Chains A and B, each alone.
Chain A
Amino acid sequence: DIQMTQSPSSLSASVGDRVTITCRASQSVNNYLNWYQQKPGKAPKLLIYVASNLQSGVPSRFSGSGSGTDFTLTISSLQPEDFATYFCQQSYSSPITFGPGTKVDIK
């Protein structure tokens, strides 16, 4: 199985901050890397697919980059509704695997 790691595991930030979250795969996943946002008690929400494609309806302050084993999710200007946990997911090979999550909370 492809193992996914994320850093940091949590971070504190203020509204308006630029936030970057990193995801690393144990082997190349090409660009088949996706990002989700999850709020407490809710289902995950797809933000970015195939490394850098913004899902319809997702604000443009979210962006993704990377290929191979190293990827980043960037929030250009953090908004109050962005405080949540963010997961990466590889869709390159079965079984599909997810990262452990990065919790973004209010500074």
Chain B
Amino acid sequence: QVQLEQSGAEVKKPGASVKVSCKASGYSFSNYAMHWVRQAPGQRLEWMGWINAGNGRTKYSQNFQGRVTITRDTSATTVYMEVSSLRSEDTAVYYCARDWSDISGYSYYFNYWGQGTLVTVSS
């Protein structure tokens, strides 16, 4: 069965960077895009960007102004999401979520999610 296993909670100081991993299993890794979505406390879900796990092509939300980088390691079937220049407003649960469609036609909706990684930014 499809599983997305994320790395553990992180506590970071303002200005630092954080890198969250998402290990995929149970499906053909290179055939699907992976998205990242975050949820600040009491807030709505916020889409951050995605990566085509096959060719590594990425697309980011402009709302993050170049602070987010998504990469993948096909041999490890793992996707990574790094946020730089952290500020307190980045405190949130970060989720990886697999696209519903394979890479022949992206859907931009998500039928498999990781368990979430809490990132706390505090001085």
Residues of B bordering A, CB below 8 Å: 35, 44-47, 59, 61-63, 95, 97, 100, 107-111, 113-116
What is the number of residues of chain A that contact chain B, defined by CB distance less than 8 Å?
21
Other than the known A44-B45, A95-B61, what 17 A-B pairs have Cβ atoms closer than 8 Å? A1-B63, A32-B108, A43-B113, A43-B116, A44-B95, A46-B109, A46-B111, A50-B109, A89-B45, A91-B107, A94-B59, A94-B61, A96-B35, A97-B47, A98-B44, A98-B45, A98-B46
- What are the residues of chain B within 8 A of A99 when measuring CB–CB? 44
Are B59 and A89 in contact (CB-based, < 8 A)? Answer: no
Q: Of all chain B residues, which has the CB nearest A43?
A: B113
What CA separation (Å) do A5 and B46 show in the bound complex? Answer: 14
Are A87 and B44 in contact (CB-based, < 8 A)? Answer: yes
A6 CB to closest chain B CB (Å) equals 9
Most buried by A among B61, B97, B108: B108
Are B44 and A96 in contact (CB-based, < 8 A)? Answer: no
From A43, A44, A87, A96, give the contact of B108 (CB < 8 A).
Answer: A96
